[in-house]
Amino acid sequence: MNKIILIAQVVFGIALNSIGQSDTLFIKPWVNGHAVYLLPPGKLQVNDVWTSSDSIYYPPVPAFRKFDFNLKETYLPLYVYQGKLVYYDPCDGIFESAWVFNDSALVHLYYDGPEGSPIAAMEYANATEIQFRILQFNYEEIEKSIEYYLTVKSMNKEKGIYLFTFEDPYDAESKYSFPVVERCKLHLFHTLVCDCLADKHTEFQWEVEPFIPDLFK
């Protein structure tokens, strides 16, 4: 009997110790097969859906040009949560998103497959910033294709953080920006996970927080 009690105490002690060392912060605990938690850097197991620009395929575009620039990576979106830049891992794969560049297009990766937007021109480039003129290509009616500007600004080279800014050249108010991180540097950031065994359409909603310069340090 004493041995049984001793074994139980050891097992209980190990369990408590493992809980005490847990570095996963539950925002919403498991309820009805749904939970939200914050993983520390390096703990996220990323799906194989993210591929490199070397192997990406997109629908063929006639007479597109080739450009030389140093943005050969997969870029994932970052969000601000409780004053920190984090990666959000959605419950449903249809909300996953990423971007890659090749020498002629910006390719959007999402649940329904890659979608390429040809690069019409490089407007300017310097040590920290590149601006492209991107063609939102209409494959069925080419004359209805539209152009927009994409500015890619390096915010922190060591952490692989960039700022993507999209703007309509004909509407100064139609402009929005968001931070992204190189796929190879994702392990440096916390991950906010929305984990669902059911109700896959239920995503975690939090108050929108602005991204300020201090976040990129």
Question: Which pLDDT score, from 0 to 100, does residue 46 have?
Answer: 66
Q: What is the pLDDT of residue 11?
A: 33
pLDDT at 171: 80
Residue with tokens 């991204």: 211
Note the pLDDT of residue 22: 57
Whether residue 147 is predicted with pLDDT greater than 70 in this model: the reply is yes
* Cα 86 to Cα 27: distance, rounded to the nearest angstrom: 14
pLDDT band at 52 (very low <50, low <70, confident <90, very high): very low
- Answering whether pTM is above 0.75, one says yes
Mapping DSSP onto H, E and C, the string for 143-209 reads HHCEEEEEEEEEEECCCCEEEEEEEECCEEEEEEEEEEEEHHHHHHCEEEEEEECCCCCCCCCCCCC
The two most distant CA atoms of the chain are separated, in Å, by 84
Residue at token pair 């998103």: 97
* pLDDT above 90: residue 139: no
Q: Where are the domains of the chain?
A: 2-204
- Quote the CA–CA distance of 73 and 33 in Å, as a whole number: 35
Helix (H/G/I), strand (E/B), else coil: 58: coil
pLDDT tens for 168-215 read: 888 878 889 999 999 999 999 999 999 988 777 789 999 999 999 999
Confidence tier at 159 by pLDDT (50, 70, 90): very high
Query: What does the block give as tokens for 38?
Result: 């914050």
Average pLDDT on 7-34 reads 57
pLDDT above 50 for 19: no
Residue 19 backbone dihedrals phi, psi, to 5 degrees = -65, -40
Residue with tokens 């030389």: 68
Q: Distances in Å between the alpha carbon of 112 and those of 78, 101, 116, 161, 190?
A: 21, 18, 13, 26, 27
Residue 5: predicted pLDDT: 36
Task: Write down how long the chain is.
Answer: 217
